[in-house]
Chain A
Amino acid sequence: MGLKLQQSYHHSVTLKVNEQMGTKRGYTFIQANRAWLPKFLLLWVMVMAFLSTWIYKKMDADNKVRRKEVLSSMCDQRARMLQDQFSVSVNHVHALAILVSTFHYYKDPSAIDQETFAEYTARTAFERPLLSGVAYAERVVHSEREKFERQHGWTIKTMKREPSPIRDEYAPVIFSQETVSYIESLDMMSGEEDRENILRARATGKAVLTSPFRLLGSHHLGVVLTFPVYKSKLPPSPTEQERIEATAGYLGGAFDVESLVENLLGQLAGNQAILVNVYDITNSSDHLIMYGHQNQDGDLALLHESKLDFGDPFRKHQMICRYHQKAPTSWTALTTAFLFFVICLLVGYILYGAAIHIVKVEDDFHEMEELKVRAEAADVAKSQFLATVSHEIRTPMNGILGMLALLLDTDLSSTQRDYAQTAQVCGKALITLINEVLDRAKIEAGKLELETVPFDLRSILDDVLSLFSEKSRNKGVELAVFVSDKVPEMVMGDPGRFRQIITNLVGNSVKFTERGHIFVKVHLAENPKPMEGPKAETCLNGGSDEDALVSGARQFKTLSGYEAADERNSWDSLKHLVADEELRYDASVKMKAADEASQSVTLMVSVEDTGIGIPLIAQDRVFMPFMQADSSTSRNYGGTGIGLSITKCLVELMGGHISFISRPQVGSTFSFTTVFGRCKRASFSDTKKPNAEDLPSGFRGLKAVVVDGKPVRAAVTRYHLKRLGMLVEFANSVKIAASACGKNGSSCGSKTQPDIVLVEKDSWLSGEDGGLSLRTLDRQQNGHVLKSPKMILLATNITNAELEKAKAAGFADTTIMKPLRASMVAACLQQVLGTGKKRQPGRGMLNGSSVLGSLLCGKKILVVDDNMVNRRVAAGALKKFGAAVECAESGKAALKLLQLPHSFDACFMDIQMPEMDGFEATRRIRMMESQANEQMNGGTEEGSIRTGEWHIPILAMTADVIHATYDECLKCGMDGYVSKPFEEENLYLAVAKFFKTKPISDS
């Protein structure tokens, strides 16, 4: 069963893990597209490669455009220059032609001869930089040839330097520049180009050019410029015929284009870079080259054409430029593009890397989350496991302890006894540890549920104190408890857990305190507000000379006079508290009304000790399980260190919080708050107080004087006495008490004599005249015979000698050993005052093996079980203990038998039964009972007195020992739980709860 449970638990854990995984895993964009990341990178690289290529192309194109622009501008510049130079030359030749016509023809005799012409042209050659030379040829018709030849003394020759054949006309050169003197006497008409030129020139009257040809003499390519020279002045718009008639000769100039252009270009920048060709394109199909090489290599891809106008409308020229070298690879563009690509590549890679990293981190994160969930699940599982295992260990441990106890009852040799006792002590220690671990595990597993029952806080505190009284007395440590009056008498809560907390804290304190005191103080959490000084003083009897009492050594106003860690707990605060209470006493009725209005009450509990304190370094891990202040602690003082962590858990479960103040070598003060429910007065007045011991009321109204130098301690004493209903006064010393009594005695006034005088041992011993004053006190009392106050000595520990001395001094009555407890004080007072002789039946008598018999004897018990054998066995077992047993075989049968009124004292109910199971049956029984109770309440007066009588204890019988079952049992109204098969001890424990109160209430 257990295994199955764990399996299913495990299953549920994994399921939870999966669920959490499902909900928590929020996918980011990157995470969702993780498979695409390399593809994204590739795409990015490709896009970037494309982009950089584009950039390269763009830049390259720009370069080309610029190159082209540069080329065209250079070309145009060259063309313009050439053209300008050319036209300058042409103009000058024009001028020369006019010169010739003016001075050769209009003057008679001619002012020009060859010599003059040569001289003049040579001196004006700078004006015609493009012309290699000029010459003048006269027009000679054939009829005049002989006369001309005679006149000049040479014959007209052709270009080939032969005597000219007979023609209609000749044009022999008569004047020539020196540079071209070799053409003198040559007939220009004999050359094809020149003849054409001459004819065209005289027809148009303008400068005309030949197509390029190889010039005589220089063998350079060149063109010849020809200007007509007219004999007479021409009419304003002469016809062609008139021009031809008027022609006297021709002035020609040879442009040695090749060398001259070379010269010209040489002057310009960037000459090396470009290649210039000049063409005559008069015949558009056949371009004649004028300058440059026809088949020169160069950058054929890029060329620029510029038009040239040399002033001859008939001829057309153009200049073609191209770069010498092919366009250089554009390194800038290439580098830029490449760098761009590289940068983008890097950026892409960085992004990719980041994405990969993000993915990795997210993966890790999810993994961690998963692990965390698992770890938490494991933690819960651990707690569950611990709870289960501790529970399982407890059962056999109880057996071991029980057997050991039995063993110790037998006759044993001293060695055997020693062994057995050691085993028992160890076993007890082990079970304590297991209980603590179980508690912690339960709390962690969230299984611990708190009860909510009314309980008396004060009696629990008394109980805890009595637990430790032995130990503290041995150590000489004073143990005291003080509960503020405003704390309600009964509160709703979990008394067991409250007791556990207090026990833990006080136990710790006792463990670590060797001197001084341990002081438990309970008050309302909202209480400590400062009160005005003078009012606070009122409660102090003789507060003014309080300081006088403080003896030489530095004393603190704490319980024992030792310094405490938390100053707040000293008398200064407590007196406010006390004062507050006294002041409000009158208004208590009003206050109570207000208190009852609120549902809950927050208590502040502090446990103060003057022990070794907690080292500062260890203070922050005090509440961590298994952490003690240091490892030597467990060696010196024992313990596991789990107690405080449980305490913390419990306090937090109770809706409070715990804190502490500790000073090494001074002490620690643990304070915690808890929230309890307020107990409706009506509800608990009828029901029995299960754990409140009834304090005797015989002391109500008695008057007591407490003699104590330490106000805190006095307040504690008063608290206990007040609980007994006594009126208490303080006295700082015996003397004051005595004088007070004396006054009272003498005046015999309204104030009555004290019935009891309680003297603290310390104050008695401190006053040297203690004995004396006491005697006087005694004497005075003796004087007034009516009432003699009883003298009681209060002491934490007392030696025999002191006891003797005390008896001698007059404390004949009794000595009350501390720690004080109301019940103990009551018992002592009873003894002293001689009242209340009858002893209350002690509960301790109930322990013993024959108890079960006495508990069950004569009780009528119903056993409900569908299983015949079980029924028989249960009946047999119960009968053995003297119970009268009746059986029912089903829930229905049980219901029938339990119809009210019935005479059963208890019912044992099987849980798993066909038709109607134990839970259902119980529910119905409870319903029946509550109906009956209501009817009775609503009915006669008599009924109301018997309220709540119909409640038969129902105990579940089950083989199932899982916690849940127990909870279920309680939920449906069962009172307890017996595991099947019956064991004597279990049965006793279960039954004892219900039957033990009865004999007491009966008696």
Chain B
Amino acid sequence: MDFVNQLQRKFIDYSSSLHREGIVDDQFTQLRKLEDENSPHFVMEVASLFFEDCEKLINNMAIALEQKQGVDFKQIDECIHQLKGSSSSIGAMRVKNACIAFRSFSDGQNREGCLRCLQQLSHEYSLLKNKLQTLFRLEKQIVAAGGSIPRVH
């Protein structure tokens, strides 16, 4: 039981650190609140959807920005909008902020800026992915150890 408690505390610490570092915001908490018996892995599910989506979009944008003969900024804009929407939905604050910065550059048709932002974005994205996967791992460990995931208030 101590082990479970330890894990639970670790989990709480970890998730609050995510908040502290601004990686996720309240919306993430809201999502966690939505988890119940009917959908115990709701957040994980949404997150993996988000990761897929995100990877695809980042790839698309990278390809679009590689184009030598004129970058299709409209396409990039759409991608960014998508990404911004989904990141704000799951509460990935830093990704969202990166998107906002990106948006202003793509509005200004600034290829250099876009490339820089894309880099920043993929950095934020991988950071988020790492952190969340760690969190989910912890969650799994807790469940495996027979404990319950601490609910947020």
A868 within 8 A of B: yes
The answer to whether A873 touches B81, judged by C-beta atoms less than 8 angstroms apart, is no
Binds B, one of A103-111, A126-134, A335-343, A975-983: A975-983
**A880 at the binding interface (Cβ < 8 Å):** yes
Instruction: Please report which residues of chain B, range 13-71, place their CB below 8 angstroms from some CB of chain A when the two chains form the complex.
Output: 27, 30-31, 33-34, 36, 38-39, 42, 45-46, 49-50, 53
B82, A867: Cβ atoms closer than 8 Å = yes
Q: How far is the CB of A885 from chain B (nearest CB, A)?
A: 12
- Which residues of A sit under 8 angstroms from B34, Cβ to Cβ? 873, 876-877, 879-880
B27, B86, B91 — most chain A CB neighbours (10 Å): B86
A877 CA / B49 CA spacing, docked (Å) = 16
Q: Chain B's nearest CB lies how many Å from the CB of A329?
A: 85
B residues within 8 A CB of A874? Answer: 89
| Contact status A869-B39, CB under 8 Å | no
Give CA–CA (A984, B33) in the complex, Å.
11
Partner of A870, one of B33, B39, B45, B85: B85
Q: Tell whether, in the assembled complex, residue B49 and residue A959 are in contact, meaning their CB atoms are under 8 Å apart.
A: no
Bound CA span A980–B88, Å: 8
Contacts of B38 in A (CB 8 A): 879
Known: A981-B27, A981-B89. A869 touches B36 (CB 8 A): no
Distance in angstroms from B107 CB to nearest chain A CB is 9
How many whole Å from A870's CB to the nearest CB in chain B?
5
Judging by beta carbons under 8 Å apart, are B85 and A982 in contact?
Answer: no
Q: Within the complex, which residue of A866, A873, A879, A984 is in contact with B31, where a contact is CB–CB below 8 Å?
A: A873
Q: Which residues 876-928 of A sit at the B interface, judged by CB distance below 8 A?
A: 876-877, 879-880, 910, 912, 914
Residue of B31, B33, B89, B91 with most partner-chain A CB within 10 A? B89
A959-B88 CB under 8 A given contacts A876-B34, A876-B39, A914-B78: yes
Contact A912 B81, CB 8 Å, known A869-B90, A981-B88: yes
Contact of A876 with B31 at beta-carbon distance under 8 Å, contacts A869-B90, A959-B88, A980-B88 already known: yes
How many angstroms from the CA of A959 to the CA of B88 in the assembled complex? 9
Closest chain A residue to B87 by CB distance? A869
The size class of the interface chain A forms with chain B is: 20 to 34
> In the complex, which of the residues B30, B50, B78 contacts A869, with contact meaning CB atoms closer than 8 Å?
B50
A568 within 8 A of B: no
Known: A876-B39, A983-B30. A869 touches B81 (CB 8 A): no
Collect the chain B residues with CB atoms within 8 Å of residue A877's CB.
Answer: 30, 34
Decide if A535 is an interface residue (CB 8 Å cutoff): no
Residue of B nearest to A912 (CB): B81
Contact digits for A558-576, partner B, Cβ 8 Å, 1 yes 0 no: 0000000000000000000
Tell me the complex Cα distance, A867–B50, Å: 10
Closest to A981 in B: B27
Question: How far is B87's CA from A867's CA once the two chains are assembled, in angstroms?
Answer: 10
B42 & A876 in contact (Cβ 8 Å cutoff): yes
- Closest A residue to B84 by beta carbon equals A959
Residue A167 at the B interface, CB < 8 A? no
Tell me whether A880 and B45 are in contact (CB under 8 A): no
Q: How far is the CA of A873 from the CA of B42 in the complex (A)?
A: 9
- Asked if B85 and A869 make an inter-chain contact with CB atoms under 8 angstroms apart, the answer reads yes
- The 8 A CB mask of A376-389 against B (1 = contact, 0 = none) is 00000000000000
Question: Are B46 and A867 touching (Cβ within 8 A)?
Answer: no
User: Smallest Cβ distance from A1 to chain B, in angstroms?
Assistant: 9
Given A876-B39, A981-B88, verify A869-B27 contact (CB < 8 Å).
Answer: no
* A872 CB within 8 Å of chain B: yes
Q: In the complex, which residues of chain A have a beta carbon less than 8 angstroms from the beta carbon of B46?
A: 869, 872-873, 876
Please determine whether A869 and B42 come into contact, CB atoms closer than 8 angstroms: no
CA distance A166 to B62 in the complex (A): 161
- Interchain pairs with CB closer than 8 A, number: 60
Mark contacts of A161-187 with chain B using CB atoms, 8 A cut-off: 1 yes-contact digit, 0 otherwise. 000000000000000000000000000
Q: How far is the CB of A83 from chain B (nearest CB, A)?
A: 116
Interface centre among B33, B34, B49 (most CB of A within 10 A): B34
- Using CB atoms, name the residue of chain B closest to A870: B89
Interface pair A870/B30, CB less than 8 Å apart: no
| A residues near B39, Cβ cutoff 8 Å | 876, 879
Minimum distance in angstroms from A292 CB to a CB of chain B: 110
CB contacts (< 8 Å) of A981 on chain B: these are 27, 30, 88-89, 91
Q: Judging by beta carbons under 8 Å apart, are B82 and A866 in contact?
A: yes
- Please tell me if the beta carbons of B49 and A872 are within 8 angstroms of each other in the complex: yes
Residues from chain A with a CB closer than 8 A to the CB of B88 are 959, 980-981
Complex Cα–Cα for A443 and B61 (A):
45
Q: Which of A869, A876, A980 has the largest count of B CB atoms less than 10 A from its CB?
A: A869
- In the bound complex, what is the Cα–Cα distance between A867 and B30 (angstroms)? 18
CB distance from A983 to the nearest CB of B (A): 7
Q: B38's closest neighbor in chain A, by CB?
A: A879
Asked whether B86 lies within 8 Å of A867 as measured between CB atoms, the reply is: yes
Would you call A870 and B86 a contact (CB within 8 A)? Answer: yes
Q: B4: shortest Cβ distance to chain A, in Å?
A: 26
Task: Assess the B36–A880 pair: CB atoms within 8 A.
Answer: yes
Measured CA separation A984–B34 after assembly (Å): 11
Specify the chain B residue showing the minimal Cβ separation from A869: B86
Interface residues of A in 955-969 (CB under 8 A from B): 959
Q: Is the CB of B78 within 8 A of A873?
A: no
Residue from B30, B45, B78 within 8 A of A872 (CB atoms)? B45
- State which of A866, A867, A879, A914 has its C-beta within 8 Å of the C-beta of B89: A867
* Residues in B whose Cβ lies below 8 Å from that of A910: 85
Q: In angstroms, how far is the closest chain B Cβ from the Cβ of A953?
A: 22
In the docked arrangement, what's the CA distance between A980 and B85, Å? 9
Closest to B86 in A: A869
Q: Do the beta carbons of B90 and A873 come within 8 Å of each other?
A: yes
Chain A residue contacts of B53, Cβ below 8 A: 867-869
Q: Which residue of A lies closest to B91 (CB)?
A: A981
B107's closest neighbor in chain A, by CB? A4
Q: Could you tell me the distance in whole angstroms from the C-beta of B105 to the nearest C-beta in chain A?
A: 14
- Residue contact B30 to A982, C-beta cutoff 8 Å: yes
User: Which residues of the other chain, B, contact A984 by a CB distance below 8 angstroms?
Assistant: 30
Complex: chain A residue closest to B103, CB-CB: A1
Query: In the complex, which residues of chain B have a beta carbon less than 8 angstroms from the beta carbon of A876?
Result: 31, 34, 39, 42, 46
- The answer for the CA separation of A198 and B30 in the assembled complex, in Å, is 162
- B residues at A contact (CB < 8 Å): 27, 30-31, 33-34, 36, 38-39, 42, 45-46, 49-50, 53, 78, 81-82, 85-91
Show the binding face of A for B, using Cβ within 8 Å: 865-870, 872-874, 876-877, 879-880, 910, 912, 914, 959, 980-984
Instruction: Knowing that A981-B30, A984-B30 touch, tell me 14 more A-B residue pairs with CB under 8 angstroms.
Output: A867-B85, A867-B86, A868-B86, A869-B50, A869-B85, A870-B86, A870-B89, A872-B46, A879-B38, A879-B39, A980-B89, A981-B27, A981-B91, A982-B30
Closest 4 A/B residue pairs (Cβ): A869-B86, A867-B85, A873-B89, A870-B89
